[in-house]
Structure 1
Amino acid sequence: MSTTQSERLRELLEPLVASQGLDLEEIAVDSVGRRRVLSVVVDSDTGADLDRIADVSRALSAKLDETDAMGEGEYTLEVGTPGAERSLTQHRHYVRATDRLVRFQLHEGGELVARILAVDEDGLDLEVPGVKGRKPTTRRLPFGDIDKARVQVEFNRKDTKNTDNTDNKTEEEEA
């Protein structure tokens, strides 16, 4: 059984990424002209800030330098996070997207845009936004019904955690 370079790199780098408290989400090796680019995408339940990305990048670079996993030629290492509109492909991705708006492509055709309220082993509890002034409804969506899912960017979402405005008042306004 032959393994691809990406699979070999995953076997080499995944334990190192895990030791940094992160999950290795994706590995891709692409050719850009004469150069090769190794793209590594990492994430965690608490996210990955710039310092964590820099730490894991240094660790990966050192590991790659001591092995011949990338071969003889030059390459560029890029380490980042999945981004705002990430695809949800694993259970942990759905858990991390709780309270986010997601566009679902369903196996039986059709599309659904809803907010993830809860995730368990079998599926999702969703809040489907109301249309034309109607109240939102809840719906259960089994994982088996999902073909694709992608987080949606929300630019004007109201903060649901601070619905009463008294927390935003200064002491002078309250007096």
Structure 2
Amino acid sequence: MGDTVHQDGLGEPDALDRLWTPHRMAYLRGENKPADETPGECPFCRIPRLPDEEGLVVHRGRLTYAVMNLYPYASGHLMVCPYRHIADYTETTDEEAADMADLTRTAMRVIRSVSGAQGFNVGMNQGSVAGAGIAAHLHQHVVPRWGGDTNFMPVIGRTKTLPQLLTETRALLAEAWPLGS
């Protein structure tokens, strides 16, 4: 017990530093997530109506678009979403599935050229029980990876470090996106 100091005078000291991220509370509370199947209320339906910089849109395809993830796992983490409000991959048309595949491939090429990514995690979480944060609107994650990118910070420090602001990453990727793709 001795003369240890309690943080804010509450609880027992644990000798851990705190990196406060209050902006994540919106995500934890489920704000801006669709509460039902209403297409107009879904963030992935609202984003395409915004200017690219405001909506963090990297590229607009014919049937799908690429957008920065607001809560990224790694720097450059983006998602490919159909414009149409559908929840399940099996609901895509052949054209939508092809457009998603094309944008995903191009996103990987662009991210690799801009950041030197050494690998990628690509995938969809189908349904809230499978981990989809926004289950009502289909989206595919494209997460760049580098050797050693999962270090002690998220494992021990329970903190993610991102070297660049989302708006800066969006601008780099949008600028590097090939015309006509």
Range into which the TM-score falls when normalised by the shorter chain: under 0.3
Q: TM-score, normalised by structure 2?
A: 0.26
**Which one has a larger percent strand, Structure 1 or Structure 2?**
1
Return the index of the structure with the highest Cα Rg: 1
User: Which structure shows the higher helix fraction?
Assistant: 2
Relative contact order: is structure 1 or structure 2 higher (C-alpha 8 Å, sep ≥ 6)? Answer: 2
